[in-house]
Chains A and B, each alone.
Chain A
């Protein structure tokens, strides 16, 4: 009787998860083994079961590998930079000497709640090679104008600058909450033991922030892996496909060209990569907290 009662309590949630999560995922997995495309939309007799062909073709597609490289670059450079900026601003805001903390917090959080499309228009002007503000500022230091959005070597750094500016506020708020939960007497004790500012940060702040840091790294890594909106609104994947991310590649295959079978295969490969990355992070974090 008891287990049945339990099942009946959780069944509404289970049904919702089944219908809106498990079913679509299973359907997408099945789709990834077919060549479902625009002809399949017309008549499902035009759909063939092709086994692992989509995955095989994906591995043989150079654009997929360069998309993966672009995404990896964005994650490896962008995510730590974003976390560092978040932590830095959180420390500044949390410093005792700062007045009007609320105003600063709001101002620094503002980019997070703006629309990507709207701010991308402004950033496109900031990045403009001839009329942009950024190159104007670089000109003061006698640095030659950089074609931020037109040179394949600079487009990804430009995406990272934009993404870090857009996203750091969110993690900053989480860090501020983490910092506020560190008891003041720990700092006091460290000071009595003769610890300077750097030592306090290294031996009090960082260890106390470890759980927050783990959460933030996982969230940021997953978020940065899903790079899409920035290239979509700023560069359309260009120049020379240098800002085409895995997700952008998937979007083009799926919703621009309607190769839904192939796009599903991309989705599952991306899922596998992200799962692997997260598990690696957790393992590292576990070892770190044990030592």
Chain B
């Protein structure tokens, strides 16, 4: 930032402040502070309903909720940053947090959290809380969580001879093969859409090896762990347990599960509502949820969801924090769950009869203790997309005739290619890290 640009920005800030003062003066109520909140999609619609109670409790604050469609939210956040028009508080998909933190757009919240009687990190599911942290500094507070576990056909699994859902990959493969033997060539055991990276990513996160190494400088896809995950993923295609399909061919997985086109698929909590809405009452006991099976036992799953963040340029950080504290209260989170079906990120919020009465959420409660975040680098989504492209190509290369030796060769080639591409995508990050810490201190961030 040059001096000229800096002073231009100061002038702009002064002008904005003046404009705000004039507006407030015109309202005749200089006591009220307006906090701008950006929320996306359905959450944006619903959060406005929670605001009257907040404003009653904080008479000096008015919240201006602005709703952003998910599809353009990322672009709008970046343009707002460039145009110096960021809001005070925003909902941020937790994979976007590293990127906006790298832009230095977010305010660190450690001091507020330490002093807060409401936001207590140990009460949050550890994998979810971690998504707010970058090098130990918290830039957000988890608002709701989202993870992918298995939805399955109870009756088809039972008919194949399995009374309980599988907990390990071995059991899962056995169950899927038994189902496939029963349903024949036109139907399948599992849906792994080739245009989504979440399935393979979930299997890869279950491994001990990290996906990136050396503080996110290089890809780590040649590790034994990732190769194991990719082998398992491709095995589902070799045995024709999964169709070579994308979401275009299966736009409605809920009805397809009910029809028995497949018996397992990996989805998030929003699918519970979809099943209840789409299937008739007579089919409601066909499906169930279970935690994601892991390589040797109950495995990890993706730590998804959204956090609430305060922007660095916010003129009202104190009021912004009060809003976050309000939305983090367990009873407010339960109301939010009632309105949206979004699962709360803290254990206290889950201590409620409504979650016990609902038969499908306990699996999520169990899974949330074992969620893992993706590598916190801005380039991650791009790398995950590349992983999807390369694994799709590999899935189209295998067939029932593929021998274990050929499979190993395909997996190795994919891992090498993926590492090469990831390393290229991380080149700029390495340059920035080296520039910021030339003395060989590899833990510093730009």
Q: State the A residues within 8 Å of B (CB).
A: 35, 37-39, 41-43, 46, 124, 128-130, 147, 149-150, 152, 234-236, 238-241, 255, 257-258
A43: B residues at CB distance < 8 A: 1, 104
A41, B103: Cβ atoms closer than 8 Å: yes
B82: interface (CB < 8 Å): yes
| A-B CB contact pairs (8 Å), 25 listed | A38-B78, A38-B102, A38-B103, A38-B378, A39-B102, A39-B428, A39-B432, A41-B82, A41-B103, A42-B104, A130-B249, A149-B248, A150-B244, A150-B245, A152-B396, A235-B246, A238-B194, A238-B195, A238-B246, A238-B248, A239-B392, A240-B392, A240-B396, A241-B389, A257-B382
A240, B102: Cβ atoms closer than 8 Å: no
Q: How far is the CB of A190 from chain B (nearest CB, A)?
A: 51
A129, B194: Cβ atoms closer than 8 Å: no
Partner of A150, one of B75, B246, B432: B246
Q: A44 — nearest CB in chain B belongs to which residue?
A: B1
B81: interface (CB < 8 Å): yes
A150, B428: Cβ atoms closer than 8 Å: no
Alpha-carbon separation in the docked complex, A7 to B102 (Å): 49
Alpha-carbon separation in the docked complex, A235 to B248 (Å): 7
Q: A241 — nearest CB in chain B belongs to which residue?
A: B389
A239, B194: Cβ atoms closer than 8 Å: yes
Q: State the B residues within 8 Å of A (CB).
A: 1, 75, 78, 81-82, 99, 102-104, 194-195, 244-246, 248-249, 251, 378, 382, 389, 392-393, 396, 428, 432, 446
Alpha-carbon separation in the docked complex, A130 to B188 (Å): 14
Alpha-carbon separation in the docked complex, A257 to B393 (Å): 21
B78: A residues at CB distance < 8 A: 38, 41, 258
B249: A residues at CB distance < 8 A: 128-130, 147, 149-150
Q: Apart from A43-B1, A240-B389, what 14 extra A-B contacts exist at CB < 8 Å?
A: A37-B428, A38-B103, A39-B446, A43-B104, A46-B428, A128-B249, A147-B249, A150-B248, A236-B195, A238-B194, A238-B246, A240-B194, A240-B392, A255-B75
Alpha-carbon separation in the docked complex, A149 to B244 (Å): 11
A152: B residues at CB distance < 8 A: 396
B248, A124: Cβ atoms closer than 8 Å: yes
Alpha-carbon separation in the docked complex, A35 to B102 (Å): 17
Q: A132 — nearest CB in chain B belongs to which residue?
A: B249
B81: A residues at CB distance < 8 A: 41
Alpha-carbon separation in the docked complex, A258 to B382 (Å): 10
A240, B393: Cβ atoms closer than 8 Å: yes
Q: B82 — nearest CB in chain A belongs to which residue?
A: A41
Alpha-carbon separation in the docked complex, A238 to B75 (Å): 23
